[in-house]
């Protein structure tokens, strides 16, 4: 019959046969567990006293079973140490993952766009916030969560977003999600349920938008981008929603011009459309105060979306959206259907981190660090005058386009990969495969402080190998360069 024990050092399960002597049944159960791989090599077994108490056997019976299994080579015993499962040759045994084999090694030179420096995660501050949360946590904190998100985090975010991004928010209009990807999924699902049909996405733009919009049942269509950001004049009354990165367009890096900000808000009011504002890296502007959120101009028509992925790290799986009042209830229902609620303790820790201004201090330090890195990158790229760097001094990446008659993007990416460089090509971010301006998205935040200079050196070495191809031809892709326009 099945037996369990809970007071020993390990929780284990054995099937003891219904017939036969007690020692023989125990031996057979342990032997079968070892052969099947349920007890792997090196696993410590309970003490003879503890196992005897849990199974209602004599200590001598358990000792005899252990001795017999030791003679047969299934376990190893040593005076004063725990009995452990031996490394037997026969029988399936799954490998034990280790830190060296469970995850691929990090790339030698990480210039991937859109990632913060994981080595700069504020571990001490986060640990201090975690301790405060756990010290003060009431029992209900460990129970089911709220699909809309913890009120503590929503309150902290309403204050923070109003203070730093100009967002007009109250806690009742904020929904916490498990990452920005889920935010977009929920919004698209709600739009489809309301009978919306078409959504505009920036072109070029983040490639996951098109797929998410299409899977939700909406029809995505491209919204061209130029030196002033997305061409909001192309929106029509038949458009139901538009996805924008107005503070720092991804990938070109230009902010949406003030006139176009006003125009898209006027379109939303007239057409009843929804503006989905992705403020993915709005905290990081290096030459002046960050541009305020578009949401402040039309809070009844903008779903403002933010995330901790770019400021702290994507592993936290915490994002938020400030919604028009009429969208709060349907988004909360969709969230409840999707995964019920987002992990609670992380929400409380982030709320404490924001309320104590540790979040502000972390972002200020990151802003200084990333500004220096961007300046180093732009300085080194100046050695290649045929390349065109785009966008304002902001964000976590720089877009560099190639001469129209220069080397192909694919060749550059292959050469970069050969040197251990991780970055991204521009062509995959365009809506129409036939219209593919080529370039490189170069992240300057993902590497550690120590590793970043070597990554830039490796990139420049690749570019030098293509130097001859950069000497001819006009700039490709876009007709705008680095600028500081608002």
Contact 401, 477 (CB under 8 A): yes
**Claim to verify: residue 330 and residue 401 sit in the same structural domain:** no
| Residues 299-334 pLDDT 10s | 999 999 999 999 999 999 999 999 999 999 999 999
* Size (the chain), residues: 486
How far apart CA 421 and CA 413 sit, in angstroms, is 9
Residue 105 within a domain: no
Question: 59, 85, 111 — which closes off a domain?
Answer: 85
Q: pTM for the complete prediction? A: 0.83
416 or 72: which leads in pLDDT:
416
Residue 480 is encoded by which pair of tokens? 């705008």
**Claim to verify: residue 167 and residue 289 sit in the same structural domain:** yes
Contact 417, 302 (CB under 8 A): no
Q: The CATH number of the domain where 62 resides is what?
A: 1.10.10.10
**Claim to verify: residue 178 and residue 36 sit in the same structural domain:** no
SS3 229: strand
> Domains in the chain: how many in total?
3
Residue 485 within a domain: no
User: What is the reported pLDDT for 152?
Assistant: 98
Could you tell me the CA-to-CA distances from 404 to 179, 353, 466 in Å, in that order? 37, 48, 14
Strands 174-177 and 109-110 come out as unpaired
Average pLDDT, the chain: 89
Residue 113 within a domain: no
User: What is the reported pLDDT for 102?
Assistant: 59
- Start-end of H helices in 217-324: 258-271
Q: Which of 54-58, 382-386, 466-470 is predicted with the least confidence, judged by mean pLDDT?
A: 466-470
- Start-end of H helices in 36-87: 48-55, 59-71
**Claim to verify: residue 463 and residue 427 sit in the same structural domain:** yes
**Claim to verify: residue 356 and residue 369 sit in the same structural domain:** no
**Domain of 340?**
122-360
Q: The CATH number of the domain where 436 resides is what?
A: 3.90.1150.10
Residue 101 within a domain: no
User: What is the reported pLDDT for 331?
Assistant: 98
Q: The CATH number of the domain where 349 resides is what?
A: 3.40.640.10
Residues whose CB falls within 8 Å of the CB of residue 8, separated by 6 or more in sequence, listed in order: 46, 47, 50, 51, 54
**Claim to verify: residue 250 and residue 342 sit in the same structural domain:** yes
How does residue 97 score in pLDDT terms, banded at 50, 70 and 90? low
Residue 239 is encoded by which pair of tokens? 């458009």
Residue 206 within a domain: yes
Residue 108 within a domain: no
**Claim to verify: residue 284 and residue 351 sit in the same structural domain:** yes
Span 407-429, average pLDDT: 91
**Claim to verify: residue 444 and residue 295 sit in the same structural domain:** no
How far apart CA 242 and CA 251 sit, in angstroms, is 17
**Claim to verify: residue 41 and residue 152 sit in the same structural domain:** no
User: What is the reported pLDDT for 484?
Assistant: 36
| Residues 169-227 pLDDT 10s | 999 999 999 999 999 999 999 999 999 999 999 999 988 888 899 999 999 999 999 99
Question: 317, 345, 360 — which closes off a domain?
Answer: 360
**Claim to verify: residue 149 and residue 72 sit in the same structural domain:** no
Spatial CA neighbour of 93 closest among 42, 34, 43: 34
**Claim to verify: residue 78 and residue 187 sit in the same structural domain:** no
**Claim to verify: residue 203 and residue 235 sit in the same structural domain:** yes
Residues whose CB falls within 8 Å of the CB of residue 323, separated by 6 or more in sequence, listed in order: 173, 174, 175, 303, 331
Residue 318 within a domain: yes
Contact 346, 139 (CB under 8 A): no
Residue 484 within a domain: no
Question: 343, 360, 377 — which closes off a domain?
Answer: 360
User: What is the reported pLDDT for 48?
Assistant: 83
């Amino acid at each position: 019959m099945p037996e369990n024990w809970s007071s020993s050092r390990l929780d284990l399960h054995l099937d003891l046969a219904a017939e036969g002597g007690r020692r023989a049944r125990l031996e057979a159960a342990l032997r079968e567990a070892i052969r099947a791989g349920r007890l792997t090599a090196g696993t410590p077994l309970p003490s003879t006293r503890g196992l005897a108490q849990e199974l209602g056997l004599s200590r001598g019976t358990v000792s005899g079973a252990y001795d017999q299994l030791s003679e047969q080579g299934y376990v190893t015993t040593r005076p004063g140490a725990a009995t452990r499962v031996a490394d037997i040759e026969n029988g399936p045994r799954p490998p034990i993952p280790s830190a060296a084999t469970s995850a691929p090694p990090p790339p030698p030179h990480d210039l991937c766009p859109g990632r913060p420096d994981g080595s700069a995660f504020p571990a001490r501050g986060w640990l201090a916030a975690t301790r405060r949360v756990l010290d003060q946590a009431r029992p209900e904190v460990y129970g089911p969560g709220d699909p809309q998100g913890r009120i503590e985090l929503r309150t902290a975010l309403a204050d923070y977003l109003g203070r730093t991004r100009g967002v007009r928010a109250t806690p009742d209009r904020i929904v916490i999600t498990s990452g920005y990807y889920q935010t977009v999924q929920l919004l698209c699902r709600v739009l489809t349920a309301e009978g919306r049909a078409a959504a505009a996405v920036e072109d070029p733009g983040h490639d996951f938008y098109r797929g998410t919009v299409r899977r939700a049942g909406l029809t995505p269509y491209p919204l061209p981008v130029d030196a002033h950001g997305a061409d909001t004049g192309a929106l029509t009354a038949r458009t139901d929603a538009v996805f924008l990165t107005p503070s720092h367009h991804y990938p070109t890096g230009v902010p949406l011009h003030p006139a176009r900000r006003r125009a898209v808000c006027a379109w939303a009011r007239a057409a009843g459309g929804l503006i989905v504002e992705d403020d993915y890296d709005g905290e990081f502007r290096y030459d002046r105060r960050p541009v305020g959120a578009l949401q402040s101009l039309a809070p009844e028509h903008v779903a403002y979306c933010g995330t901790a992925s770019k400021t702290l790290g994507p592993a936290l799986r915490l994002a938020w959206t400030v919604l028009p009042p009429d969208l709060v209830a349907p988004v909360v229902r969709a969230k409840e259907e999707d995964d019920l609620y987002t992990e609670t303790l992380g929400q409380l820790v982030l709320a404490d981190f924001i309320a104590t201004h540790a979040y502000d201090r972390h972002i200020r330090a990151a802003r200084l660090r990333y500004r220096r890195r961007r300046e180093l990158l732009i300085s080194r790229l100046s050695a290649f005058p045929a390349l065109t760097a785009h966008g304002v001094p902001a964000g976590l990446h720089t877009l560099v386009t190639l001469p129209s008659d220069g080397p192909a993007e694919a060749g550059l990416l292959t050469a970069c990969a050969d040197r251990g460089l991780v970055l991204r090509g521009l062509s995959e971010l365009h809506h129409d495969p036939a219209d593919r301006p080529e370039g490189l998205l170069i992240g300057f935040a993902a590497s550690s402080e120590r590793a970043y200079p070597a990554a830039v050196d490796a990139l420049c070495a690749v570019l030098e190998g293509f130097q001859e191809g950069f000497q001819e031809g006009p700039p490709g892709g876009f007709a705008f360069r680095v600028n500081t326009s608002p």
